[in-house]
Amino acid sequence: MRIVERDHHLVVLDYCSPQARSLCFLNSFHQLGLVSQAGKCGDFRYPNGVIMNAAVAALPRVASRKSLAIQTSIAILLCAGIALYFWTQSRYPALIKKYHSGNAIKVAGPISFDALMPVTSDMPLRARIGRTTVNWMWTNRIGMTFGLFFGAGMLTLLPLMPAFRFRSAAAQTATGAATGIPLGVCANCVAPIGRGLYQGGASPSTTLATMISSPTLNVVVLAMALAMFPLKIALVRLAVPLILLALVPWIVRHNQIAAVTEDLSGSADGWIRPTSDTFKSYVKNVGSLALTTIPLMVVAAFLGALVAEAVPAQSIPAKVTILGIVMVALVGTFLPVPMAFDVALAFVLMARGVPMPYVVTLLCTLGIFSIYPYLILGRTLSWRTATRVFAVVFVLGLAVGLGTALATHAF
What pLDDT, in 10s, does the model give residues 69-118? 889 999 999 999 999 999 999 999 999 999 998 888 888 888 999 888 99
> What DSSP character marks residue 44?
B
> At which of 28, 43, 61 does a domain end?
61
- How far is residue 354 CA from its own chain's centroid? 31
Establish how many alpha carbons lie within 13 A of residue 159's alpha carbon, considering only the half-sphere containing its beta carbon.
24
Q: To the nearest 5 percent, what fractions of the chain are helix, strand and coil?
A: 60, 5, 35
Tell me phi and psi for residue 339, to 5 degrees.
-60, 130
Domain that holds residue 36: 1-61
Are residues 124 and 28 both part of a single domain? no
The conformational region for residue 148 under phi > 0 = left, psi -120 to 50 = alpha, else beta, is alpha
How far out from the chain centre does Cα 272 lie? 33
For residue 389, pLDDT over 50 is answered with yes
Q: For position 161, what pLDDT does the model report? A: 83
Last residue of a domain, one of 61, 77, 97: 61
| Residues 46, 158 within the same domain | no
CA 46 – CA 199 distance, rounded (Å): 30
**Domain endpoint, select from 61, 79, 113:** 61
Residue 270, amino acid: G
> Residue 136 is which amino acid?
W
41 and 83 together in one domain: no
Residues 308 and 324 in one domain: yes
The answer to whether residues 260 and 375 belong to one domain is yes
pLDDT at 271: 80
Whether residue 360 is predicted with pLDDT greater than 80 in this model: the reply is yes
Torsion of CA 218, 222, 225, 231, to 10 degrees: 160
Judge if 329 and 369 occupy the same domain.
yes
Confidence at 270, pLDDT banded by 50, 70, 90: confident
Per-residue pLDDT at 13: 44
Q: Are residues 15 and 106 in the same domain?
A: no
For the chain, give the mean pLDDT. Answer: 84
For residues 365-391, average pLDDT: 96
Instruction: Name the strand (E) or helix (H) holding 9.
Output: strand 9-12
Domain match, 205 and 310 both: yes
Tell me, what's the pLDDT at 61? 45
Predicted confidence band of residue 49 (pLDDT cuts 50, 70, 90): very low
Residues 24 and 146 grouped into a single domain:
no
Q: What is the DSSP string of 184-247?
A: ---TTTHHHHHHHHHHHT--HHHHHHHHHHHHHS-HHHHHHHHHHS-HHHHHHHHHHHHHHHHT
Same domain, 26 and 146: no
Of residues 137 and 29, which shows the higher confidence score?
137
What are the residues facing 6 on neighbouring strands? 9
- In a shared domain, residues 212 and 329: yes
Query: Picking from 47-61, 80-94, 168-182, which range would have the lowest pLDDT averaged per residue?
Result: 47-61
Cβ atoms within 10 Å, residue 219: 13
Beta-sheet pairing, 31-35 with 22-24: antiparallel
Question: Which among 110, 335, 101 has a CA at the least distance from the CA of 224?
Answer: 101
In the chain, how many domains are there? 2
**Residue 63 carries which DSSP code?**
P
Kindly tell me if the per-residue pLDDT of 65 is higher than 90.
Answer: no
Residues 128, 80 share a domain:
yes
